């Protein structure tokens, strides 16, 4: 086999990076190195898609096949900024694609937001997904919880809280997480939207699944439907409204959990530390369609508030970043530095377009970026002075983890699952992940930051 002409680095092994790798390596002359700061590939497929959403997880299995291609390498435990610089990456590859997603969450900016019991849904999702950086979450004493926001993340966390824990036993959640959910005594879960049901961003399948969770009685504040004109709605929102209407009209005998949707309310304060009350203000739209408070307030008793109001990407060291939009500025995937195209640099996924869209949205997004990469490579050719980045890392005693290391982690997760009659159980402790990486090498891995 002739040497591939082009080497492309992808930073981030989540769905957008993997779709990009798939498209690139459909061309025999391209070789791809996928870097990730974790020793585990798949990003949000592994640590964001809800563990009980096994059909979406199947997308991960399909995408995983990209690593069967010998032209694709996984290089784990390499962090841009800590282990390699932007300049080193650019010197080592003919093109670099940033695919790091959005790792921070938006904040409510209301008093009490930092009190104990107020958390981001991102942290909560990371915990139940077994992310090694996640803080353990205690549900001790939590009977009433609220999710702020009416998107799919709010739906995910509300469902995990409302679901009978035994129904989660089939998932790959770590045992400590399942044990905490089994201990929890949730009776009431609120989902709070600052606009109406017709404005909610959740997808109908996800909403329907939440509303049909066994043992859960659904209510919607009645005035939420007042201004809804079904004929003026698109298919998705009309279906969402129908699901909510139907669910709130359905009697559930002896419910285990009451799920309250509250629309046209915005949080104004979290009271108590730990939190015991969530103060809400009624809202309306002003003449310009902006959400404004009406001054009427009310409060609900809660011990847990999860803000699920959206994610935010963070600046990569040395890489152009638009702080206002929270994205790497780009033109169809070509990175822009001060408005001009930065040669050989590209972006894909949430850090390109913002934290919107489902996993599949990344496919067309990656296609667009890869088209630009291939066009530019054909014009620029390979970098004449390409530096061996892995050699540079090795000289500093830094050996990235490999796909074989990941296979070892996977096998250990399958073993752990088998001992609990489950297909797989996530390994969430850094030290265990590191031991498994270590087991495959004499030299020793890169320690996590």
- Which positions touch ligand NAP (CB under 6 A)? 106, 108, 148-154, 156, 193-195, 199-201, 203, 206, 266, 308-311, 355-358
Nearer to ligand NAP, 101 or 400 (CB): 101
Task: Determine the Cα angle at 292 with ends 288 and 297, to 5°.
Answer: 160
CB of 352 to ligand NAP, least distance (A): 14
Q: Which residues are CB-contacts of 373 (< 8 A; sequence separation ≥ 6)?
A: 8, 24, 95, 97, 333, 346
Residue among 86 and 195 whose Cβ is closer to ligand NAP: 195
Least distance (Å) between residue 201 CB and ligand NAP:
3
Choice between 80 and 304, CB closer to ligand NAP: 304
**Within 10 A of 326 (CB to CB), how many other CB atoms are there?**
20
In the complex with ligand NAP, which residue's Cβ is closer, 150 or 373? 150
CB closer to ligand NAP, 22 vs 201: 201
Q: What whole-number distance in Å separates Cα of residue 96 and Cα of residue 87?
A: 10
Cβ at position 275, least distance to ligand NAP in Å: 16
Quote the crossing angle between the two packed helices 204-211 and 235-249, to the nearest 10°: 10
Judged by DSSP in three states, 65 sits in: helix
Considering beta carbons, is residue 261 or 403 the nearer one to ligand NAP? 261
Q: What is the DSSP pairing of strand 277-285 with strand 188-192?
A: unpaired
Q: In what order do the strands lie in the sheet with 6-11?
A: 72-75, 30-35, 6-11, 95-98, 340-347, 334-337, 330-331
Closest distance between ligand NAP and the C-beta of residue 198, in Å?
11
Q: Which residue is nearest to ligand NAP (CB)?
A: 151
Least distance in angstroms from the C-beta of 108 to ligand NAP: 5
> Least Å distance between CB 284 and ligand NAP?
13
Strand partners, 41: none
Smaller CB distance to ligand NAP: residue 153 or 347?
A: 153
The backbone torsions φ and ψ at residue 331, rounded to the nearest 5 degrees and listed phi first, read -120, 105
Residue closer to ligand NAP, measured from CB, 307 or 408: 307
In the complex, minimum distance from the CB of residue 193 to ligand NAP, in angstroms, rounded to a whole number? 6
CA geometry: angle 424, 430, 432, nearest 5 deg: 60
Q: Min. distance of Cβ 59 from ligand NAP in angstroms?
A: 10
Residue carrying structure tokens 């129904």: 167
Residue with tokens 């001009």: 340
Residue 135: closest CA among 180, 185, 183: 180
């Amino acid at each position: 086999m002739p040497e591939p002409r082009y080497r492309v680095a992808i930073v981030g092994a989540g769905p957008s990076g993997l779709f990009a790798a798939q498209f690139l390596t459909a061309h025999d002359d391209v070789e791809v190195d996928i870097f990730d700061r974790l020793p585990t590939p798949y990003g949000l497929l592994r640590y964001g898609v809800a563990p009980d959403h096994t059909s979406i997880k199947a997308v991960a299995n399909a995408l995983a096949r990209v690593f069967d291609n010998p032209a694709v390498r996984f290089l784990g435990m390499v962090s841009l900024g800590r282990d390699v610089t932007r300049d080193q990456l650019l010197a080592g590859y003919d093109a670099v694609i940033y695919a790091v997603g959005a790792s921070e969450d938006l904040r409510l900016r209301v008093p009490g937001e930092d009190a104990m019991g107020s958390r981001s849904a991102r942290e909560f999702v990371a915990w139940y997904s077994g992310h090694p950086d996640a803080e353990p979450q205690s549900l001790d004493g939590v009977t009433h919880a609220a999710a702020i926001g009416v998107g799919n993340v709010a739906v995910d966390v509300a469902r995990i809280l409302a679901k009978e824990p035994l129904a989660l036993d089939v998932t790959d959640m770590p045992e400590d997480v399942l044990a905490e959910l089994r201990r929890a005594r949730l009776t009431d879960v609120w989902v709070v939207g600052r606009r109406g049901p017709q404005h909610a961003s959740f997808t109908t399948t996800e909403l329907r699944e939440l509303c049909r969770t066994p043992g859960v009685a659904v209510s919607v504040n009645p005035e939420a439907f007042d201004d809804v004109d079904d004929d003026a709605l698109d298919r998705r929102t009309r279906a969402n409204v129908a699901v909510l209407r139907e669910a709130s009209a359905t009697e559930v005998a002896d419910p285990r959990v009451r799920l309250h949707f509250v629309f046209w309310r915005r949080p104004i304060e979290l009271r108590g530390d730990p939190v015991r009350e969530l103060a809400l203000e009624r809202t309306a739209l002003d003449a310009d369609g902006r959400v404004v408070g009406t001054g009427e307030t009310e409060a609900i008793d809660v011990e847990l508030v999860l803000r699920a109001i959206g994610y935010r990407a963070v600046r990569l060291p040395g890489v152009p970043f638009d702080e206002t939009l929270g994205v790497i500025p780009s033109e169809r995937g070509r990175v822009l530095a001060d408005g001009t195209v930065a040669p050989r640099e590209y972006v894909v996924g949430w850090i390109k377009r913002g934290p919107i869209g489902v996993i599949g949205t990344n496919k067309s997004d990656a296609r667009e970026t890869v088209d630009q990469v291939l066009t530019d490579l054909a014009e620029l050719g390979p970098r004449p002075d390409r530096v061996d980045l892995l050699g540079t890392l090795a000289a500093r005693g830094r050996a990235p983890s490999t796909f074989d290391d990941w296979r070892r982690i996977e096998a250990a997760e399958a073993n752990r699952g088998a001992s609990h009659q489950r297909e797989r159980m996530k390994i969430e402790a850094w030290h265990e992940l590191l031991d498994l990486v270590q087991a495959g090498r004499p030299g020793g891995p890169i320690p996590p930051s």
